[in-house]
């Protein structure tokens, strides 16, 4: 499959074009985009695993409510799990932190910080990011944000427990203490501070990405010769740049409400457990939701766009055929980016919205579904009359298509206000966005890891373990999330500690059990991957620079690329997906080759 | 450090017409606009929600003369910032540094006035952010703005003293950095020019 | 050693693959079928809090006892049929491609892209469909359920719903049919959870209950508010959901077409005991309802003496 894939501009001169750096400068405080990309990848994979573990704990309570957790129940303190039975406050902490960790510390840093950092400069033919020191700083700020978030678990009262959305006034009044000290050292306050770190990190990163894509493209690399993945990162960076600051503002305001006793989100006349709450009032609880969702809806696209980018790369490479509608796909995601700023209130249909406003946001929501359908259709059409190579990355990319379709389609009843009346805040929502993120973004992440691992390490991941990982994951991911649609239809609310408290929940408790068992099996299904990831570093099949016979620029650099990336300055001659060009002896025609 | 030099750190890109630092600064400012935009929106929303309960500037006891003085201080500092850049552009380092020093002094003046003639007086009178929604907004917005001023002071001081070595290596690079700092500084001034009427006059 | 392990894997490739696929299918079958079977077995009326809850619950939508609910159910059903058609269509195309165009000797990919007229038409169909469901099936329902409250001439029955951590309080106007003044400063624990000003003439006979009773077949307006945090007033069998937001009073209305005992749920995370924040909803004929109201207000009067 690999074999002769060395040609044109890249030569073979060892990999020492720079003098050696000390360990600390090379691997810890590195300013090389590739090392930072790997740092991001490893850190966020750890966070993904942690977030997954939190969820597996929750799934016990959901499957077997109020039963002691077997085997590991006694590892936890009596304050959160007396007798091995999870308390509601601990359950709520797990829920809030699962969401926060998965979104802000796991998937986004992995897709943007990890893949974006590692692959994007290589794909545009840049020696590094525009601002290497800023790049290092954004990683370390992200790292600090992660540490703050983790520290919140050890606060008195536990980690934040008001949901990953932290709706005020609940988030302001929960875990409050009498003194400033007690207010400061509380899970929710740490959550807010952690968010401020993470947002700052994203801002620094997004400035860097945009400038790099605009300024550092190789000679001949016009905007419409950029691989689709780079375009997806470009749009994503704009979303991060413009959508995150309002949440930063909201975070500061909520910190003021918690620590200084202001009333930005606190209306007048609050009575908490029979006592008048010590707030002057005059604030608006809905203000928080507007500021939050103004970020968090674009954030949804931040979660999926780079995933679409990875899948597009993998599909083009493994179908041996140009992507169908490359330009249409780019226009679609740019449009998607714009639209994502004016759909946020569809998360708030139940807050007492009038017909006109709800119709507006429902209409924008329907409009934004069109470009998503376009991108998905384009990828499907790319399969037509192709020659599909069922490699492991391709398997994940192929599974992505129908799974993401389920995730997208189930957004429809939620985006229409009338059907949302019944489905809002039920398990249907959980099923919907997990289908987008798990067999969507996370499968795209796996596709990306299997695809670019040879570039980063010079070795391939094992195919058999990879296929095992794939089949188990695809089965159990569906096992976890598909029952949720039925739970949602039946009216089971999300974030419920025990759904059997309600008649409609008790009747379908078996579905919760099915989800749980699938989730634990999904956890086990990741073992082949973890094993593969570490084993292949030493024992994987060695590869040259272009093992997949790919066309984009990252495959012109040695595997792994040295500091500065390319041995000779790359020049780009054609579009990114010139596969199976008629009259060409080989079925791929790389961007960096002068002639076939 | 690597021997590798990134293109367009000093000279503008032939197509986009800007060097990377300037583009980055503009993008950063775009995000700052969103940050303060969200805060000003908060102000508008809460003020509309409050209706007649909103205090008039008569009740808030904010001193318009002090606010005016601070506005003038910042406007002058913007001018000196431009002069610093212009001097550097003409190759006059000592003049440029002098203007930078004046800018820093003006910025410090602003903060001193803010802290000792405004915050301290209010604090002594028992006014806290929790006193009313108006003061919540007043302290949060001016506080955040003060942090931005402080950031500007740190950056300018860096280029004034330890960072000046860059001039010896590459005067254009140094001048560019001052230009970017200037962009940021003008933005911070602009925020105050919005804050002043919103909080003191309206 | 690691290398050896990996080699074993690659040598036994086909055997492992077959074994593994078999196991996977088995797990899938057991995983899907077993819970399905048990779910149907359990799909009978459940008894949660001492009171028998009416209706049959299981997979699919809960029973619908409201007059407007069929419109919401209809929309949900239309959407799912449409989604299924689209998904199956895509799926057939996908599977067809996977089978026909897998890499094999003598087969090469075509550089030419598909002239995708059908895709374009599909796209247009999706768009038209979305416009139809939005304008024809969603907006009118939303307007009537959430906005077009029954006029006074229709004589709607009004209840004020005051949510708090972790209980629902239902404030009835009492026999005079007029709500008394209420304000946060009058709230006094369990004695006066709704904060009714008892010195107000209209408020003297007001009563507050922990159960939502209302007459069947009459328009009911619930005015929702919250004392502390955001809750969500969710009546699954009535196809009603509305956030209750402190500082706001938001009305919803509905009409029941059938009597029975059902549940009121909280659908918005509101704190530790969110899952226990439920109340009984009793829909009864007018005569029985009047009797209940009378009995309740007698208790109040007794208390005031």
pTM exceeds 0.80, yes or no = yes
Q: How confident is the model at residue B90 (pLDDT cuts 50, 70, 90)?
A: very high
Q: Is the pLDDT of residue A378 over 90?
A: yes
Q: What angle do CA A211, A216, A221 make, to 5 degrees?
A: 120
What is the spatial distance between Cα A500 and Cα C275, in angstroms, rounded to a whole number? 9
Residue C144 touches partner A, C-beta closer than 8 Å: no
Predicted confidence band of residue C147 (pLDDT cuts 50, 70, 90): confident
Whether the CA torsion A129, A131, A136, A137 is positive or negative: it is negative
Which among C31, C79, C165 has CB closest to A514?
A: C31
Are B35 and A246 in contact (CB < 8 Å)?
Answer: yes
Lowest mean pLDDT among B64-68, B142-146, C29-33: C29-33
**Tokens standing for residue A319:** 């179908």
Q: Do A249 and B35 touch (CB under 8 A)?
A: yes
Partner-chain contact A245 B8, CB within 8 Å: no
Mean pLDDT computed over A395-414? 95
pLDDT tens column, B113-143: 999 999 999 999 889 999 999 999 999 999 9
Mean pLDDT of all residues in A292-306: 93
Give the mean model confidence (pLDDT) for residues C170-184.
Answer: 84
Q: What pLDDT does residue C107 have?
A: 85
Res. A56: pLDDT tops 50: yes
Task: Please name the member of A252, A280, A284 whose beta carbon is closest to the beta carbon of B130.
Answer: A280
What is the average pLDDT across A65-88?
90
How far is Cα C261 from Cα C279, in angstroms, rounded to an integer?
A: 10
pLDDT, residue C29, reads: 55
pLDDT for the residue C179? 87
pLDDT, one tens digit per residue, over B97-110 is: 999 999 999 999 99
Of B3, B53, B140, the CB nearest to A18: B3
Subunit contact A243:B34, Cβ cutoff 8 A = yes
Residue C303 has pLDDT above 60, yes or no: no
Given a contact cutoff of 8 angstroms between Cβ atoms, the answer to whether A44 and A110 are in contact is: yes
A125 contacts: CB under 8 Å, gap ≥ 6: A217, A218, A219, A221, A553, A556, A566, A569, A570, A572, A592
State yes or no: pLDDT of B31 exceeds 90. yes
Question: Binning pLDDT at 50, 70 and 90, where does residue A17 land?
Answer: very low
Which two tokens mark B202? 């309206």
pLDDT of residue A2: 35
Helices (H), A320-354: 326-339
| Cα–Cα distance, C223 to C158 (Å, whole number) | 7
What average pLDDT is seen over chain C?
83
Bridge partner residues of C265 (DSSP): C234
Q: How confident is the model at residue C296 (pLDDT cuts 50, 70, 90)?
A: confident
Lookup: tokens for A53? 């573990």
Instruction: Determine contact, residues A349/A417, Cβ cutoff 8 Å.
Output: yes
Q: pLDDT at residue B95 above 70?
A: yes
Q: Does any CB of chain A come closer than 8 Å to the CB of residue C7?
A: no
Q: What's the pLDDT score for residue C196?
A: 84
- Per-residue model confidence as pLDDT tens digits over A156-188: 888 999 999 999 899 999 888 888 999 999 999
Contacting residues for C110 by C-beta, under 8 A, at least 6 apart? A321, A385, A386, A580
Beta-carbon separation of C142 and A358 below 8 A = yes
**Phi-psi label, residue C247: left if phi above 0, alpha if psi -120 to 50, beta otherwise:** left
- pLDDT for the residue numbered B65: 92
pLDDT band at C17 (very low <50, low <70, confident <90, very high): low
Per-residue pLDDT band for C26 (boundaries 50, 70, 90) equals low
| 8 Å CB contact of B129 and A211 | no
Q: What is the pLDDT of residue C302?
A: 58
Confidence grade of residue C260 (pLDDT, cut at 50, 70, 90): very high
Name the pLDDT band for C105 (thresholds 50, 70, 90). Answer: confident
Q: Give the model confidence (pLDDT) of A135-163 as tens digits.
A: 999 999 999 999 999 999 999 888 999 99
Distance between CA A214 and CA B21 in Å, rounded?
A: 12
Check residues A547 and C58 and name the one with the higher pLDDT: A547
Measured between beta carbons, which residues in chain A are less than 8 angstroms from residue C124? none
ipTM of the complex: 0.94
Q: Please check whether residue A246 is in contact with residue B38, taking contact to mean a CB–CB distance below 8 angstroms.
A: yes
Length of chain A, in residues: 596
Helix (H, G, I), strand (E, B) or coil at C66: strand
pLDDT digits (tens, 9 = 90+) for C198-257: 788 888 778 889 999 999 999 999 999 999 999 999 999 999 999 999 999 999 999 999
What are the backbone angles phi and psi of residue A354, rounded to the nearest 5°? -75, 170
């Amino acid at each position: 499959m690999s074999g002769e894939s060395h040609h044109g501009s890249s030569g073979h001169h060892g990999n020492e074009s720079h003098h050696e750096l000390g360990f600390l400068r090379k691997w810890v405080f590195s300013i090389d985009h590739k090392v930072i990309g790997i740092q991001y990848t490893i850190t966020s994979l750890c966070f993904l695993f942690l977030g997954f573990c939190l969820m597996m704990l929750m799934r016990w309570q959901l499957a077997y409510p109020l039963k002691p957790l077997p085997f590991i129940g006694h590892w936890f303190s009596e304050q959160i799990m007396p007798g091995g039975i999870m308390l509601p406050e601990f359950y709520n902490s797990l829920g809030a932190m699962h969401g926060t960790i998965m979104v802000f510390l796991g998937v986004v840093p992995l897709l943007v910080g990890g893949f974006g950092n590692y692959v994007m400069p290589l794909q545009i033919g840049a020696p590094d990011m525009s601002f290497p020191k800023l790049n290092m700083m954004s990683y370390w700020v992200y790292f600090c944000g992660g540490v703050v978030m983790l520290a919140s678990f050890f606060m008195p009262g536990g980690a934040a427990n008001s949901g990953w959305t932290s709706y005020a006034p609940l988030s302001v009044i929960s875990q409050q203490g009498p003194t400033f000290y007690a207010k400061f050292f509380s899970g929710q306050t740490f959550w807010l501070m952690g968010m401020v770190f993470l947002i700052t990190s994203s801002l620094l990163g997004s400035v860097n990405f945009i400038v790099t894509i605009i300024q550092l493209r190789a000679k001949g690399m016009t905007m419409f010769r950029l691989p689709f993945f780079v375009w997806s990162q470009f749009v994503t960076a704009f979303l991060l740049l413009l959508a995150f600051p309002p949440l930063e503002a909201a975070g500061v305001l909520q910190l003021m409400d918690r620590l200084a006793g202001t009333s930005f989100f606190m209306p007048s006349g609050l009575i908490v457990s029979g006592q008048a709450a010590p707030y002057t009032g005059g604030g608006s609880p809905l203000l928080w939701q507007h500021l939050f969702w103004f970020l968090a809806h674009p954030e949804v696209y931040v979660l999926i766009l780079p995933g679409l980018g990875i899948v597009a790369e993998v599909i083009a490479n493994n179908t041996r055929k140009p992507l169908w509608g490359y330009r249409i796909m780019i226009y679609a995601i740019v449009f998607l980016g714009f639209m994502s700023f004016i759909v946020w209130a569809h998360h708030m249909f139940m807050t007492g919205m009038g017909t006109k406003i709800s119709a507006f946001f429902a209409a924008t929501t329907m409009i934004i579904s069109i470009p998503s359908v376009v991108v998905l259709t384009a990828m499907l059409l790319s399969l037509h009359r192709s020659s599909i190579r069922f490699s492991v990355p391709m398997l994940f990319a192929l599974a992505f298509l129908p799974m993401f379709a389920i995730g997208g389609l189930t957004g429809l009843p939620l985006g229409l206000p009338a059907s949302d009346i019944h489905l809002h805040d039920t398990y249907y929502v959980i099923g919907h966005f997990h289908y987008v993120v798990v067999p969507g973004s996370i499968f795209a992440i796996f596709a990306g890891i299997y695809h670019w691992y040879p570039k980063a390490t010079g070795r391939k991941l094992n195919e058999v373990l990879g296929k095992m990982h794939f089949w188990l994951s695809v089965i159990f991911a569906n096992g976890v999330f598909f029952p949720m649609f039925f739970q949602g239809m039946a009216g089971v609310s999300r974030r419920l500690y025990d759904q059997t408290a309600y008649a409609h929940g008790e009747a379908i408790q078996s579905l919760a059990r099915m989800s749980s068992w699938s989730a634990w099996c999904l956890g086990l299904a990741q073992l082949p991957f973890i094993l593969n990831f570490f084993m292949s570093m030493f024992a994987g099949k060695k590869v040259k620079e272009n093992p997949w016979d790919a066309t984009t620029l990252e495959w012109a650099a040695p595997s792994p690329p040295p500091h500065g990336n390319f041995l000779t300055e790359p020049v780009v001659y054609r579009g990114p997906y010139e596969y199976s060009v008629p009259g060409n002896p080989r079925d791929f025609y790389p961007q960096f080759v002068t002639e076939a | 450090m690597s021997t590798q030099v990134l293109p367009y750190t000093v000279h503008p890109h032939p197509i986009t017409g800007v060097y990377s630092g300037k583009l980055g600064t503009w993008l950063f400012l775009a995000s700052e606009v969103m940050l303060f935009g969200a805060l000003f929106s908060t102000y508008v929303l809460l003020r509309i929600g409050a209706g007649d309960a909103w205090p008039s500037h008569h009740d808030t006891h904010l001193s318009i003369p002090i606010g005016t003085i601070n506005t003038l201080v910042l406007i002058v500092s913007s001018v000196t910032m431009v002069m610093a850049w212009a001097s550097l552009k003409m190759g006059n380092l000592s003049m440029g540094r002098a203007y930078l020093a004046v800018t820093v002094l003006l910025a410090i003046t602003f903060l001193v006035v803010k802290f000792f003639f405004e915050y301290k007086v209010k604090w002594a009178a028992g006014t806290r952010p929790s006193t009313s929604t108006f003061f919540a907004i007043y302290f949060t917005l001016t506080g955040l703005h003060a942090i931005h001023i402080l950031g500007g002071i740190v950056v300018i001081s860096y280029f004034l003293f330890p960072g000046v070595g860059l001039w010896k290596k590459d005067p254009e690079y140094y001048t560019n950095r001052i230009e970017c700092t200037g962009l940021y500084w003008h933005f911070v001034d602009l925020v105050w020019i919005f804050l002043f009427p919103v909080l003191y006059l309206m | 050693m690691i290398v050896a392990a990996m080699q074993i894997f690659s040598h036994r490739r086909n055997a492992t693959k077959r074994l593994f696929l078999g196991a996977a299918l088995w797990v899938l079958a057991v995983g899907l079928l077993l819970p399905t079977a048990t779910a149907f077995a359990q799909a009978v009326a459940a008894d949660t809090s001492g009171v028998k809850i009416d209706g049959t619950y299981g997979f699919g939508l809960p029973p619908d006892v409201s007059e407007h609910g069929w419109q919401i159910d209809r929309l949900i059903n239309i959407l799912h049929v449409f989604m299924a058609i689209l998904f199956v269509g895509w799926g057939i195309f996908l599977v067809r491609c996977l089978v026909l165009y897998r890499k094999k000797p003598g087969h090469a990919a075509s550089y030419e892209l598909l002239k995708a007229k059908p895709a374009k038409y599909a796209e247009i169909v999706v768009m038209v469909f979305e416009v139809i469901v939005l304008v024809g099936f969603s907006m009118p329902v939303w307007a009537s359920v959430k906005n077009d409250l029954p006029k006074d001439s229709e004589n709607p029955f009004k209840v004020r719903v005051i949510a708090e951590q972790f209980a629902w309080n239902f404030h009835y106007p009492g026999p005079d049919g007029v709500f008394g003044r209420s304000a946060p400063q009058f709230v006094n624990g369990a004695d006066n959870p709704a904060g009714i000003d008892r010195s107000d003439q209209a408020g003297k006979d007001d009563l507050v209950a922990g159960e939502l009773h209302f007459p069947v077949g009459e328009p009911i307006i619930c005015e929702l508010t919250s004392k502390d945090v955001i809750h969500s007033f969710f009546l699954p069998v009535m196809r009603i959901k509305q956030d209750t937001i402190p500082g706001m009073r938001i009305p919803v209305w509905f009409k029941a077409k059938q009597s029975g005992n059902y549940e009121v749920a909280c659908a918005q995370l509101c704190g530790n005991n969110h899952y226990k924040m439920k109340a009984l909803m009793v829909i009864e004929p007018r005569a029985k309802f009047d009797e209940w109201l009378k009995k309740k207000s007698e208790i109040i009067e007794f208390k005031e003496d």
